[in-house]
Chain A
Amino acid sequence: MISIPKKGTPEYSRLVAEHEACIRSMKGVAGCSILRCATPGDTTEISGGIHEDFVLNRVLLRMRAQPAKNKLVVICTKVEKEWRIGRLSGIRGVPPVFVDDRVFDDEQAVQHEIFLMRLDELAEHDGMPEHFNEGWKRRDDNWTAT
């Protein structure tokens, strides 16, 4: 249903550029959205991002709706100073594991890095009849239960 644009396409580049611009404008905000702050770090005037780019909006929604197992997450390793990328196990009692050695000094920048990783990791298409498998009868359909 929601397709992930292929790497190398103009659509892919647009999504990445818009996402990055939004993230950069969010630096310093005690929160985060994929929207552009007219004044960086200040949410008084916002535009663009998910409010104006329909494909970006939908792609992000599909990423957000993934079930917990193997989902990427941000881990703060030093309060107000350092952040890394982790992957959830989906198993109770098994903590997330770091995916690599990268250490970020900006909590918003990690959102963008994970966005790029997910663009690579997610299947181009999903949710169509050809993707049906027996797990769907038990909600194992790549969309989290809430």
Chain B
Amino acid sequence: MRLTGYADKFSVHPGDGIKIYVNCDGPAKYRAEIVKMINGDTNPRGPGFIEKLISVSVNGEYPGRKQIIHSGSYGYVLDNPSLRVKSFTIQCWVWPTTPKTHPKYWKHGAQGLVTKWSPADGGYGLFINEDGCPELRINDIKVSGTAPLRDHAWHFIAATFDAESGEAVLYHEPQITYALDPEIPPVKAALSSQVKQSGIPLVIAAYTGNAVGGTSAASSVPKGMVISGHYNGKIDSPRVCGRALSRLEIETMKLGGQTGMDERRGSGPTPKLSECVVGAWDFGIGINTIMATDTGPYLNHARLVNCPTRAMTGVNWSGHNFDWKHAPSEYGAIHFHDDDIDDARWDVDFEWQVPSDIKSACYAVKLTTAEGDEDYIPFFVVPRVGQETAKIAVMMPTISYMAYANEHLANNAGGAELLVYRIPIMQHQNMFLSEHREYGGSIYDTHTDGSGLCLSSRLRPILSLRPKYDHFLMQAPWQYPADLHLIYWLEANGYNYDVITDEDVNYDGLARLKGYNVVISGSHPEHNSGPQLDALHNYTQQGGRLMYMGADGWYWVHSFHPAYDHLGRGVMTEMRRCESGIRTWRADPGEYYHQSTGELGGMWRYRGRYLHTVAGTGMSSEGFDISTYYTRTPESNDPRVAWAFEGISQDEKLGNFGLVGGGAAGTELDIVDTMLGSPPHTLVVATSAGRHTEGYLLVMEDFGFNQQGLDGTQHPRVRSDIAYHETPNGGACFAFSSIAFCGSLPWNNGDPSKNNISRLVKNVVDRFMKDGPLPPPPSDAYKHRGRADYDRPGNTVNTSRGG
């Protein structure tokens, strides 16, 4: 791919500006056009790809230039006199994940730990060398340790250098030693060099590469300096002192600085040591920030770039406190990764002032070259609160888009095939990403070092958020292009709709939803913030109508990182995969709480918010080979809901066709379960029970121990329930409970006379979008209902065989 790009916003108001950043690697120019997105699916069995060119001033040709991403997290302190030491001690605890990498690994080479060093300028620093051993460098001299660092284990590393005597000592002391580990004596060397001083920064978890200008360093931080040698793993308690300490003093220095103490204790850890402290960083301070605090006298706070993972258990975690807010001193570690990315930091190619009269909808910047390159940068024009322009709002699940951003599962995860029950198909976006790890990954991925990826930024090209992109999960549209199936249907049936996003609901609350008669979700609103769920509950409680057009919704706890609020709304999202649920990686013990907000991560269910409470149904199974159809239940004739089936006969197969798996009931499936939060008066109007393949399996949170019989050919809870329930004040929810559901909408061009899914959805939309409360149900519908407690039909009739 030679064309990639991103915008500074997902949602933009009419009248506001949106900035566009483009990488054009090769061609001298590219063309940009604003298009309205209607259908993003190229499948020839559907309507085909449809976009509508919008004639605006920014459409035109632009000079092409390459822009690159500098991924990898680290901390840096700009050069200042305190850092220009002649003699020194550097020490830290490390928990490396990839101390030694394969020669073809994308960032093979030495890793910087605490450095003020570059190949060109020399300097000093502590490293892990290419052989996986600790290493002290002074200019181009290397003093290497003899023992390779054990991965995923804590080690104490320290190095001293005395400029007068020239003696250098390197200590390597693993926290845990096993019976057959050889002893690791300190390494001593006599050097005749002096530390070369220069203006390069002090860097934690990397070193300064080439201080070049020009385009290759334009997006790096500090500007003009490319940081290299990214370390993968945790670092705890880094310290730098301005003389060669004894081993005993090094041990005392582990206590770090102490600010605010009176004259009896000094700024620590002892008055004598306080005289030589250059930097003593305590990563347990400011865990919800992107600053690493120096408790030493020079305030050499390190700015953290690319948002490394914090709220990580430190070397001293004792297994008694699991919430970092209650024991920050046990969470003094930061996990750095060479593929972390918080902001691509590209230069702006152009900015579009969105006209104030433009219709709210899904748009994209379409990028092309004469040689056939193509990319799209989707965005959404969203009305201001109080200036709604439709009765229908489509809530585009942008948090879920971020959770899936640039995912690598088909390429990296051996388990991908077990999940999808066939061989995955990689698209050219996946091929590009498999090489360009600097574009980062999704919260479904592991980092390049194998650790779980829990943070995702939208300020980078998100190549999975594209039309014409089939996802490996279904070899069909997923998330954004699948949501466009819904947009196509609304357009084809002449509906006027507004587009809003998850982040709009998160930041604006109920006011964002209240102006709409009906809110329609996307196909897969899996990832949500607490404020967003609050807004949805308040909306339906107050008479709003919610159409849940997907499944696996309302599942994962998400927060937005406050440290990025200055760059926009919802820039960086966080999610942790804890003890249950769909876990393509699993958080380590003690690392379940979010660094951004301090809340417990994981599933909303395990925060006490059951999925089924939002729209009536909740996830019970998933499978990805093929989809199937629904049939109506007797309950579908209840007068409370029979209106939904006008024009649909009792025996019709509902949705035995579709662009996602070939049926409306597929991929991830939700059911009604009154024990898991479905309101007791919920009606199941159609179900796909018994029709799913062996590839569909019950979710792990719905069984307590492993057992046979969990798949779609055996287990009754592997099914999708289309469900309806009333909410107070004339509101209601209609849950369609299948991610594949929207894929059936465009069939036969979405014509309700030729597509019974279209017919069903049209009946619901038409009723839900009417002004005023819904007509009340018949009076006999009002009765007391339990959750588990009900009378089975068999209990009330004579059970003798004679009848």
Q: Are A74 and B656 in contact (CB under 8 A)?
A: no
Is residue B418 within 8 Å, beta carbon to beta carbon, of the partner chain? yes
Select one of B43, B415, B663, B693 contacting A146, CB under 8 A: B415
Q: Are B661 and A93 in contact (CB under 8 A)?
A: no
**In chain B, residues 403-450, which have Cβ atoms closer than 8 Å to a Cβ of chain A?**
410-415, 417-418, 421-428, 431, 434-435, 437, 448
Q: Are B693 and A33 in contact (CB under 8 A)?
A: yes
Which B residues are in CB contact (< 8 Å) with A61? Answer: 418
Is residue A8 within 8 Å, beta carbon to beta carbon, of the partner chain? no
What is the CA–CA distance of A34 and B694 in the complex, to the nearest angstrom?
10
Q: Are A51 and B662 in contact (CB under 8 A)?
A: no
B residues bordering A, Cβ < 8 Å? Answer: 42-45, 102, 104-107, 339, 410-415, 417-418, 421-428, 431, 434-435, 437, 448, 468, 470, 474-476, 584, 624-629, 653, 656-663, 666, 693-695, 713, 743
Q: Are A91 and B104 in contact (CB under 8 A)?
A: yes
Q: Are B626 and A96 in contact (CB under 8 A)?
A: no
What is the CA–CA distance of A68 and B422 in the complex, to the nearest angstrom?
14
Known A-B contacts A31-B627, A114-B423; the reply to A107 vs B414 at CB < 8 A is no
B44 to chain A, nearest CB (A): 7
Which B residues are in CB contact (< 8 Å) with A41? Answer: 662
Q: Are A31 and B624 in contact (CB under 8 A)?
A: yes
List 7 additional contacts besides A44-B628, A89-B104; criterion CB under 8 Å: A30-B658, A33-B626, A73-B426, A91-B105, A94-B435, A95-B431, A96-B434
Q: Are A31 and B475 in contact (CB under 8 A)?
A: yes
Q: Are A146 and B423 in contact (CB under 8 A)?
A: no
Q: Give the most central of A28, A46, A63, A110: most B CB within 10 Å.
A: A46
Q: At the interface, is chain A mostly helix, strand, loop or mixed?
A: loop
Known A-B contacts A33-B422, A91-B104; the reply to A79 vs B475 at CB < 8 A is no
Q: Are A43 and B628 in contact (CB under 8 A)?
A: yes
What is the CA–CA distance of A68 and B418 in the complex, to the nearest angstrom?
12
Q: Give the most central of B411, B412, B413, B414: most A CB within 10 Å.
A: B414
What is the CA–CA distance of A66 and B423 in the complex, to the nearest angstrom?
11
B3 to chain A, nearest CB (A): 15
B42 closest partner in A (C-beta): A80
B473 closest partner in A (C-beta): A31
Which A residues are in CB contact (< 8 Å) with B435? Answer: 93-95
B240 to chain A, nearest CB (A): 31
Q: Are B656 and A44 in contact (CB under 8 A)?
A: yes
B420 to chain A, nearest CB (A): 9
Q: Are A29 and B662 in contact (CB under 8 A)?
A: yes
What is the CA–CA distance of A71 and B476 in the complex, to the nearest angstrom?
22
Known A-B contacts A30-B476, A31-B625; the reply to A65 vs B661 at CB < 8 A is no
Select one of B42, B431, B468, B660 contacting A96, CB under 8 A: B431
A146 closest partner in B (C-beta): B415
B713 closest partner in A (C-beta): A51
What is the CA–CA distance of A111 and B625 in the complex, to the nearest angstrom?
13
**In chain A, residues 86-144, which have Cβ atoms closer than 8 Å to a Cβ of chain B?**
86, 88-89, 91-96, 107, 110-111, 114, 144
Q: Are B412 and A92 in contact (CB under 8 A)?
A: yes
Select one of B106, B339, B427 contacting A79, CB under 8 A: B427
Which B residues are in CB contact (< 8 Å) with A29? Answer: 626, 661-662
What is the CA–CA distance of A77 and B427 in the complex, to the nearest angstrom?
7
8 A-B pairs closest in CB distance: A93-B106, A144-B414, A33-B625, A31-B661, A146-B415, A64-B417, A43-B662, A92-B448
Q: Are B425 and A107 in contact (CB under 8 A)?
A: yes
Is residue A76 within 8 Å, beta carbon to beta carbon, of the partner chain? yes
List 21 interface pairs A-B (beta carbons < 8 Å), by A numbering: A30-B43, A30-B475, A31-B624, A31-B661, A31-B662, A32-B422, A33-B695, A35-B626, A51-B694, A72-B423, A73-B410, A73-B411, A74-B423, A80-B42, A80-B44, A91-B102, A95-B435, A110-B425, A111-B422, A144-B414, A144-B415
Q: Are B693 and A74 in contact (CB under 8 A)?
A: no
Which B residues are in CB contact (< 8 Å) with A107? Answer: 425, 475
Q: Are B414 and A68 in contact (CB under 8 A)?
A: yes
B358 to chain A, nearest CB (A): 29
Q: Are A65 and B423 in contact (CB under 8 A)?
A: no
A34 closest partner in B (C-beta): B422
Q: Are B425 and A74 in contact (CB under 8 A)?
A: yes
Known A-B contacts A79-B468, A91-B102, A96-B434; the reply to A30 vs B448 at CB < 8 A is no
A66 closest partner in B (C-beta): B414
Q: Are B625 and A64 in contact (CB under 8 A)?
A: no
